[in-house]
Chain A
Amino acid sequence: STKSLGNGTSETCAEFRVKYVGAIEKLQFDMSRTLQEPLDLINYIDAAQQDGKLPYVPRDEEMILGVSKYGVKVASPDQCDVLHRHSLYLIVRMLCYDDGLGAGKNLLALKTTDAKQEACSIWVYQCSSSEQAQSICKVLSASFDSALTSVK
């Protein structure tokens, strides 16, 4: 469902329907250093779900996750209220993987940091399929590339 709004004014270059699972905010820096490897991050999310810090099942309401050169914005379907705004330069990495519950759903884990890079946060969303998750990763990767080339 990649829908790029060609009218130029809109910041969003691709929008996806996802569900919000939860977030673990303000992890101290030394903790965030242990979450560099993808598997460490996945295991950390697993443990958080088992400890009840993160739910297994996302909230029912679908959200619109928009990826643009500015970053990732998560808003309600009518886009009236913005739930999260992750600016591109504070996004450290994005990870997508099968949630292992057998329904083919993919989890999207977004690791962000703060401007002083002292703490990091983990934001978890659920995609309807791995294809959707892959598309989101592709668009974000393109955003990183375009941000990189524009800096030079």
Chain B
Amino acid sequence: IYKSAVTTVVNPKYEGK
């Protein structure tokens, strides 16, 4: 299924996890 724009909000506490 084609996915358009994706918005992500990451909790700084888990950056890179």
Taking beta carbons and an 8 Å cutoff, which residues of A are in contact with B?
33, 36, 38-39, 42, 46, 88-89, 91-101, 113, 117, 130, 133-134, 137, 140-141, 144, 148
Contacts and interface: CB of A to CB of B under 8 A. Distances in A.
A46 B3 CA distance: 11
A62 B4 CA distance: 25
A38 B8 contact: yes
A149 B15 CA distance: 16
A141 B7 CA distance: 11
A42 B3 contact: yes
Nearest to B10: A93
Contacts of A134: 7
B9 A137 contact: yes
B17 to A, nearest CB: 6
Given A46-B1, A97-B3, A98-B3, A140 B17 contact: no
Contact of A100 (B1, B11, B12, B14): B1
Contact of A98 (B5, B12, B16, B17): B5
Contacts of B14: 92-93, 113
Nearest to A92: B14
B6 A95 contact: yes
B6 A36 contact: no
A81 B13 CA distance: 29
A97 B1 contact: no
